[in-house]
C-alpha cells in the first residue's frame, strides 16, 4: 500500500501537476483525472480497519470518485482489514455505490542473483522516445481493454517515463509485443504496467520483459527488493522470478 502511494504520487503529478494528491484519514488519493483509469486511484490506508470503519471509508472514497471527471479505481488491500471487515467488504462496497472490477495480488521479493534475461523471440529496447512510449501505452490499453487514446493520455509526453522509469519493450521482428517497467520507490523497485499484446500471450514474453526491467533497475539502483501488484493473468508468472504473494487485492469502480 505504501509503495502504491509513493509511486502513484509521482505518476499522477507527472501526468497532471494539478492532480488530486492527498493523504486523508484512512484514505490515500492519487487522482490525475485523466483518461487512463490506472492513474486515477484511491486506496484505503488504515491497518486493522473493522467492518464499521470500512463502511465509512468506502462511502468517503465513493464520494471523492463521484466528484471527478474521469473514472478510476479504488484499490483495497485485504491484508490490511480486520476479519469482520473482509467479510463485510463486498456488501459495504455495494452499499456505497461501488462495483467490483477485478482482483489482484500484492507481491514482494528479493531478487539476487538476477542473470541478464534473454528470450529466443525477443530483443529489448528501453523506452526513451515518445514513439516508444506510445507503443508502451498501446500495449497496456490492448491488454487491459482500454481505448488506445486512454493509454496514450496517461503516458505519451512523459519525461518521467523516459528518464527515471526503467521501461522496456520486448520486440518481435521489430514490432513491440510486450512491455514492463520498474521504478525506484523508498528503497524498493516497483514493477509497473506489465502488458503483452493479446495475440502473443502465453509465450513467456511478459516474464522475459519483466526480468529485463528488473535486471536493468537493479543495475541502475543497486536495489534488490521489489514489489508489485499482479493481475490474475500475471499472478502465476511472478513467483518464477522470485516474488511471494502477501495480500489479496480488490479493485472497485463506481457503478455505471
Q: What is the pLDDT of residues 46-55, one digit of tens each?
A: 999 999 999 9
The per-residue b/e assignment along 87-116, b for 16 or more CB within 10 angstroms, e otherwise, is: ebbeebbeebebeeeeebbbbbbebeebee
Do 129 and 210 reside in the same domain of the chain? yes
In a domain, 253, yes or no: no
pTM here?
Answer: 0.95
Do 99 and 130 reside in the same domain of the chain? no
Helix, strand, coil fractions of the chain, as percent rounded to 5? 40, 30, 30
Do 76 and 127 reside in the same domain of the chain? no
**Residue reference for cell 506510445:** 134
Do 139 and 96 reside in the same domain of the chain? no
In a domain, 108, yes or no: no
CA distance 134 to 26: 35
Do 47 and 140 reside in the same domain of the chain? no
pLDDT tens per residue across span 85-139: 999 999 999 999 999 999 999 999 998 788 899 999 999 999 999 999 999 999 9
CA distance 127 to 194: 13
Mean pLDDT of 162-178: 97
Do 217 and 134 reside in the same domain of the chain? yes
Do 11 and 94 reside in the same domain of the chain? yes
Q: How confident is the model at residue 26 (pLDDT cuts 50, 70, 90)?
A: very high
Domain with 19 in it: 2-103
Whether the predicted pLDDT of 15 surpasses 90: yes
Looking at the structure of the chain, the number of domains it has is: 2
Output the nine-digit C-alpha cell for 227: 514489489
In a domain, 251, yes or no: no
Do 131 and 217 reside in the same domain of the chain? yes
Output the nine-digit C-alpha cell for 10: 509521482
Do 89 and 151 reside in the same domain of the chain? no
Amino acid at each position: 500500500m505504501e509503495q502504491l502511494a509513493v509511486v502513484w504520487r509521482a505518476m499522477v503529478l507527472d501526468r497532471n501537476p494539478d492532480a488530486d494528491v492527498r493523504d486523508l484519514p484512512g484514505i490515500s488519493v492519487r487522482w490525475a483525472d485523466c483518461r487512463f483509469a490506472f492513474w486515477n486511484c484511491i486506496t484505503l490506508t488504515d491497518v486493522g480497519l473493522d467492518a464499521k470503519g470500512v463502511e465509512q471509508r468506502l462511502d468517503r472514497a465513493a464520494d471523492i470518485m463521484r466528484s471527478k471527471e474521469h473514472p478510476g479505481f479504488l484499490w483495497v488491500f485485504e491484508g490490511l482489514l480486520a476479519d469482520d471487515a473482509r467479510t463485510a467488504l463486498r456488501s459495504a462496497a455495494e452499499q456505497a455505490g461501488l462495483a467490483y472490477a477485478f482482483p489482484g495480488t500484492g507481491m514482494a521479493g528479493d531478487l539476487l542473483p538476477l542473470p541478464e534475461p534473454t528470450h529466443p523471440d525477443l530483443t529489448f529496447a528501453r523506452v526513451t522516445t515518445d514513439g516508444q512510449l506510445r507503443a508502451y501505452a498501446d500495449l497496456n490499453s490492448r491488454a487491459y481493454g482500454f481505448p488506445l487514446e486512454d493509454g496514450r493520455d496517461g503516458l505519451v509526453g512523459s519525461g518521467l517515463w523516459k528518464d527515471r522509469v526503467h521501461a522496456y519493450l520486448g520486440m518481435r521482428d521489430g514490432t513491440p509485443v510486450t512491455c514492463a517497467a520498474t521504478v525506484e520507490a523508498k528503497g524498493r523497485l516497483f514493477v509497473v504496467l506489465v502488458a503483452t499484446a493479446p495475440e502473443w500471450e502465453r509465450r513467456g514474453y511478459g516474464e522475459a520483459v519483466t526480468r529485463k526491467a528488473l535486471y536493468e533497475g537493479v543495475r541502475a539502483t543497486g536495489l534488490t527488493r521489489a514489489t508489485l501488484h499482479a493481475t490474475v493473468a500475471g499472478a502465476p508468472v511472478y513467483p518464477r522470478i522470485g516474488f511471494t504473494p502477501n495480500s489479496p487485492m480488490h479493485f472497485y469502480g463506481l457503478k455505471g
